[in-house]
């Protein structure tokens, strides 16, 4: 009878030790998950800020390109000399290249942001 009680007590003590160990592991994993969530939130905020800045810069650049286009059109209306017409045409070509490059940079940046967001989501899982 005492042998059974001793075995039962040892089994209970072993279970208590295992439960204690599991609690510690859960607490560590919970703390680690909380830290990763906080890091992901911080990065998401920074990405949102960057996207807002890029969008603002893109809008400003688009506005400036539009103004430049309007000025070029006005110059072309007043141009009577062949040399001025060539300059106007060169300006139009430069404006088109700038607009294309700006759009390409904006697309690339948004793709990079999307890739980074996907990495963060996969890391959070």
Cβ-based neighbours of 48, under 8 Å, separated by 6 or more: none
Cα atoms in the Cβ-side hemisphere of radius 13 Å centred on 19: 6
Domains of the chain by residue range: 2-124
Q: How is 9-46 classified by DSSP, letter by letter? A: HHHHHHHHHHHHHHHHHHHHHHHHHHHHHHHHHHHHHH
pTM over 0.75: no
CA-to-CA separations, 45 to 81, 84, 105, in angstroms, rounded: 54, 49, 21
Q: pLDDT tens, position by position, for the chain (125 residues)? A: 556 778 888 888 888 999 999 999 999 999 998 988 888 888 888 888 888 888 888 888 888 888 888 877 777 776 666 567 777 778 888 888 888 888 888 888 888 888 887 877 777 66
| Two structure tokens written together for 80 | 């009577």
Cβ-based neighbours of 106, under 8 Å, separated by 6 or more: 54, 58
């Amino acid at each position: 009878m005492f042998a059974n009680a001793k075995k039962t007590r040892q089994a209970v003590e072993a279970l208590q030790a295992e439960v204690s160990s599991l609690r510690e592991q859960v607490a560590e994993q919970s703390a680690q998950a909380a830290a990763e969530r906080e890091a992901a939130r911080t990065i998401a905020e920074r990405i949102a800020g960057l996207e807002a800045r890029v969008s603002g810069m893109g809008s400003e650049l688009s506005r400036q390109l539009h103004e430049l286009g309007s000025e070029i059109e006005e110059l072309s209306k007043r141009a009577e000399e062949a040399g001025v017409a060539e300059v106007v045409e060169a300006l139009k070509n430069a404006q088109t290249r700038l607009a294309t490059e700006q759009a390409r940079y904006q697309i690339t940046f948004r793709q990079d942001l999307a890739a980074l967001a996907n990495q963060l989501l996969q890391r959070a899982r």
